[in-house]
Chain A
Amino acid sequence: MTMAFETLTDALRPSYWGTLPLDAWIQSAVRDWLVPTLRPFFRALQWPIARVLDGLQGLLLAVPFAVIVALAVAAAWRWGGRGVALFTLVSLVLLDWIGIWRETMVTLAMIVTAVVFCIVVGIPLGIAAARSDRTAALIRPVLDVMQTIPSFVYLVPIVMLFGVGMVPAVIATIIFALPPLVRLTDLGIRQVQGELVEAGHAFGSTRRQILWEIQLPLALRTIMTGVNQTLMLALSMAVIGALIGAGGLGLTVYTGLGRLDIGYAGIGGLGIVLMAIILDRVTQALGNADPAARRRSPSRRRKDAAAEPLSQA
C-alpha cells in the first residue's frame, strides 16, 4: 500500500525517468564553443587591464615607503581631516611593521585598477541608462545577474577564458564591483530636479550641454557614493581573487587558510580591513568635499566683498 504510493509519487518526479544533463551542456558550450571562439577577443580585452595593473604595481612597489605614507596621510588630511590622517599614518606604519607592506601595495594596485576600469565603463553606462528608459531596461537585468551570481560561479569561465593570475582576478573584481556605480550614476542623474533640466532646455541647451552643465555636476555626490561602493566591493574580492592566482593580501589570507595558520591569515585580514577603512573614509569625504567647499567659499568671498564693496560694472 505505502510502497505503491511511494512508487506513484516518485514517478511524478522527473528525476525518476532520468537526469537532464544541463551541467554537461554548459560544460560543452563553454569549453567547446565559447572558449575557443571568443578566446582571442577576451585575450585582447585583457591587454589594457594588464598594462594599467603592471604600471601601477611597478610604481607602488618602486616608490619608497616614506613617500607613499606621506602622500597618503596628506590626502587623508586634505579630504578626511585630522582624525582620518592620524588613522592612516598609524595603519600604514603597522602594515609595514607586521611585514605585509608589499602585499598591501599589490592588493592596492589590483583594487585601483579594477575601480579605474569600473569608472571608465560604469559611468558612461549609468549616463546611458539615465538618458533612455529603453537602455535602462536593457542594462538593469544584466546588473541584477551580475550582482546575484555568486562570484565563485564565474571564476571557472574566467579562468578558462583568461587563464590564471592577477589580470583574471581584476576582471572578476570588475564584474563584481561594477553594478552599484552604474545604478548610482543612473539614479544621481535621474534625481536632478526636473525644473532645472527644463530650464536648460528653455535656455537653448543641447542634451549634451544639459548633461555636462546641469545633470553631471548635480549628480556628482551620488556618483561618488557609487565609486565608494565599487571600491568597497572590489576590496571584498581580494581573497576570492587569490583563488585564481591573484597575489597580495588575499593570497596571504588564502595561504594562511590552507595551512590552518590562523596568525598568517589574521594579518592578511587585518591588512584588508585597515585598507578598506582608509579608502572608505577618504572617498566618502571626497564625495562630501564638494558642497563643503561651496559652503566655505561664499564666506571667503564675503570678506573680499567687504574689502571692496563696489564691484558693479
Chain B
Amino acid sequence: MHGAPAARSAGDGPGARRIEVRGLSKTFGAGSAEALALARAGATKAEILERTGAVLAVNDVSFSVDAGEIFVVMGLSGSGKSTLVRCLNRLQEPTQGAIEIDGEDIVAASQERLRALRLEKITMVFQHFALLPHRTVAENVEYGLKMRGLAKPERRARALKTLAGVGLADWADRYPSDLSGGMQQRVGLARALALDPEILLMDEPFSALDPLIRRDMQAELVELQRHYRTTIIFITHDLNEALTLGSRVAVMKDGRFAQVGRPADIVLDPADDYVAAFTRDIDRGRVLPLRAAIRQPADAAAIAALMAEGAEAVDGGRLLHEVFATVGASRPVVVLDAAGRPEGVVRAADVTAALCAAPQRERA
C-alpha cells in the first residue's frame, strides 16, 4: 500500500472474541413464526416459501469471529449471505437469534446506540460501491466523519490521508464518475477506513470488478488488513477469493452454513457433496500449505541425512504456489512446523500429488 496509515490502536490483541452470533434467523414476508417453526422441523427453504409465503433468508446460523480475522462467507446468490452480513449492523432486523459484538447485545441496541456503533465501530463496503455521484471523491470519503460531526478541515485532512493510503491522493477533487470501477471501490474502502473501524463488513466488494483488478484489490486488502488489524467479514460468491482471503471460510447454502473452517480444511475435507463440488475448480496451490503435501510421517534419521546433504528447510505454513520453485528442483525439502522443528519431507512428486489429489479425508 502507498502512504503509511497509522496502525490501529485496538486495545485487545489478536485472538480476542469480537463477534458472536448464535442461532441467527431472518425471514422476509408475513408468517415468520410459522416459517421458523417449519425450519426447526427440518423443512427446506422452498417448502417454507410454498407453505407460508415467507422467505427464509438466514436459517439458524451460529459462528464467532476473533479480532483481526478475515471471516469469509461464501455462497451463491440467494444463499442469504448478504442478508446475514446486514444483520450484523442491523441494516436488516434479525427475526430471531443473538448477535454480540465485544460482548454487547446488538439485537437489543437502541437506534441511537446503533448509529453510534456504525459511526465508531462497524462500517461497510458495498458491492456497487454506493458512492454519492454528486460529491467529490474526498467528500465521499469524508461522509462518515461528517456524520461524526468533525469540522470540515479536520475531516478533509483525514480523508486525504486515507485516500493516499489507497493510492488515490491525486483524485480527491474528482467525481466518482471520473474513476474506473476498481478506483471507485478503493474510494468505498477509503470511506470505511477513514473511520478507523474495528469491524469492516464487505458485501461482495470485488465482484463487480475485472478479474485482474480484483486480484490486485485482494492483495491490497490483505496488506491493509495486516496494517490496520481490522476484523473483516467478507462476503463473496467466488470460492477462490474466499480461500485466498479468509482466515476462516463459511460456505453458505439456502440460509445455512454448510461448512465452516480454515481454507485448507474446506479443500481437503469438504463437509458434503455441495462443498466438494465447489472445491473441484479451485486453485489448490494458492490454498494448501506445504504441510498438506507431506505424505509420510517424519523420520528423524532421514531428515538429519537430508539436512546434512544441504536440503532446504521451508516453513510448512507457506502456500504451495509460493514454494513450488524450491520444491520443483529435484531435491526434496524439509518441512518445518510452526516452532521451527522438522515435521516431514516433501518431494516434487508429493507437491504434484497434493495439487491434483482428490480430497483426502484422513488429512483433516
Smallest CB–CB gap between A193 and chain B, Å? 8
**Counting CB contacts under 8 A, is A309 at the interface?**
yes
Smallest Cβ-Cβ distance to B195: which chain A residue:
A203
Range, interface on chain B: 35 or more
Within 8 A of A (CB), among B141-188: 143-144, 146-148, 157, 160-161, 163-164, 169-170, 172-175, 178
Told that A203-B191, A311-B170 touch, could you supply 10 new A-B pairs with CB distance under 8 A? A201-B91, A202-B89, A203-B195, A206-B115, A294-B175, A298-B175, A304-B173, A305-B170, A309-B170, A312-B3
**Counting CB contacts under 8 A, is A195 at the interface?**
yes
**Counting CB contacts under 8 A, is A263 at the interface?**
no
**Counting CB contacts under 8 A, is B116 at the interface?**
yes
* B175/A196 in contact, CB under 8 A: no
* A204/B144 in contact, CB under 8 A: yes
Known A-B contacts A298-B175, A313-B157; the reply to A196 vs B132 at CB < 8 A is yes
Smallest Cβ-Cβ distance to B156: which chain A residue:
A313
* A313/B160 in contact, CB under 8 A: yes
Within 8 A of A (CB), among B300-355: none
Q: Mark A97-118, 1 if CB is under 8 A from B, else 0.
A: 0000000000000000000000
**Counting CB contacts under 8 A, is B78 at the interface?**
no
Range, interface on chain A: 20 to 34
Binds A, one of B101-109, B117-125, B356-364: B117-125
Smallest Cβ-Cβ distance to B114: which chain A residue:
A204
Within 8 A of B (CB), among A166-216: 193, 195-196, 198-199, 201-206, 209, 213-214
Cα distance A214–B119 in the bound complex, in angstroms: 17
**Counting CB contacts under 8 A, is B45 at the interface?**
no
User: Which residues of B are found within 8 Å of A218, using beta-carbon distances?
Assistant: 132-134
* A199/B124 in contact, CB under 8 A: yes
* B134/A298 in contact, CB under 8 A: no
Known A-B contacts A305-B173, A309-B170; the reply to A198 vs B126 at CB < 8 A is yes
* A-B pairs with lowest CB-CB distance, top 3: A204-B119, A312-B169, A199-B130
Smallest Cβ-Cβ distance to A312: which chain B residue:
B169
User: Which residues of A are found within 8 Å of B147, using beta-carbon distances?
Assistant: 203-205, 209
**Counting CB contacts under 8 A, is A124 at the interface?**
no
Cα distance A302–B3 in the bound complex, in angstroms: 23
Q: List 25 A-B contacts (CB under 8 A).
A: A193-B130, A198-B130, A199-B126, A201-B91, A202-B91, A202-B124, A203-B118, A203-B123, A203-B144, A203-B195, A204-B118, A204-B147, A206-B115, A209-B147, A294-B134, A298-B175, A298-B178, A302-B174, A309-B170, A311-B160, A311-B172, A313-B157, A313-B161, A313-B164, A313-B169
Partner of A312, one of B118, B164, B174: B164
Cα distance A209–B146 in the bound complex, in angstroms: 10
Cα distance A304–B169 in the bound complex, in angstroms: 15
**Counting CB contacts under 8 A, is A13 at the interface?**
no
User: Which residues of A are found within 8 Å of B161, using beta-carbon distances?
Assistant: 313
Within 8 A of B (CB), among A208-246: 209, 213-214, 217-218
Cα distance A209–B172 in the bound complex, in angstroms: 23
Smallest Cβ-Cβ distance to A203: which chain B residue:
B144
User: Which residues of B are found within 8 Å of A198, using beta-carbon distances?
Assistant: 91, 126, 130
Residues of A within 8 A of B (CB): 193, 195-196, 198-199, 201-206, 209, 213-214, 217-218, 290, 294, 298, 301-302, 304-305, 309, 311-313
* B164/A201 in contact, CB under 8 A: no
Smallest Cβ-Cβ distance to B128: which chain A residue:
A195
Known A-B contacts A198-B126, A312-B169; the reply to A203 vs B119 at CB < 8 A is yes
Smallest CB–CB gap between A1 and chain B, Å? 60
* B130/A195 in contact, CB under 8 A: yes
Smallest CB–CB gap between B28 and chain A, Å? 15
Partner of B174, one of A202, A205, A298, A313: A298
* A204/B116 in contact, CB under 8 A: yes
* B169/A311 in contact, CB under 8 A: yes
Smallest Cβ-Cβ distance to A201: which chain B residue:
B91
User: Which residues of A are found within 8 Å of B178, using beta-carbon distances?
Assistant: 298
Smallest Cβ-Cβ distance to A194: which chain B residue:
B130
Smallest Cβ-Cβ distance to A198: which chain B residue:
B91
Within 8 A of A (CB), among B33-69: none
User: Which residues of A are found within 8 Å of B123, using beta-carbon distances?
Assistant: 202-203
Cα distance A213–B144 in the bound complex, in angstroms: 12
User: Which residues of A are found within 8 Å of B164, using beta-carbon distances?
Assistant: 312-313
User: Which residues of B are found within 8 Å of A217, using beta-carbon distances?
Assistant: 132, 134
* Most chain A beta carbons < 10 A, residue from B130, B147, B172: B130
Known A-B contacts A195-B130, A214-B132, A313-B157; the reply to A203 vs B169 at CB < 8 A is no
Smallest Cβ-Cβ distance to B168: which chain A residue:
A312
User: Which residues of B are found within 8 Å of A195, using beta-carbon distances?
Assistant: 126-128, 130
Cα distance A294–B136 in the bound complex, in angstroms: 10
* Most chain B beta carbons < 10 A, residue from A204, A290, A294, A309: A204
Smallest Cβ-Cβ distance to B178: which chain A residue:
A298
* Most chain B beta carbons < 10 A, residue from A199, A201, A205, A209: A199
User: Which residues of B are found within 8 Å of A199, using beta-carbon distances?
Assistant: 124, 126, 130
User: Which residues of B are found within 8 Å of A209, using beta-carbon distances?
Assistant: 147
Cα distance A302–B201 in the bound complex, in angstroms: 34
User: Which residues of A are found within 8 Å of B128, using beta-carbon distances?
Assistant: 193, 195
User: Which residues of B are found within 8 Å of A204, using beta-carbon distances?
Assistant: 115-116, 118-119, 144, 147-148
User: Which residues of A are found within 8 Å of B126, using beta-carbon distances?
Assistant: 195, 198-199, 202
Cα distance A126–B353 in the bound complex, in angstroms: 67
User: Which residues of B are found within 8 Å of A193, using beta-carbon distances?
Assistant: 128, 130
Cα distance A195–B173 in the bound complex, in angstroms: 23
Cα distance A196–B89 in the bound complex, in angstroms: 16
Smallest Cβ-Cβ distance to A207: which chain B residue:
B111
User: Which residues of B are found within 8 Å of A311, using beta-carbon distances?
Assistant: 160, 169-170, 172
User: Which residues of B are found within 8 Å of A305, using beta-carbon distances?
Assistant: 170, 173
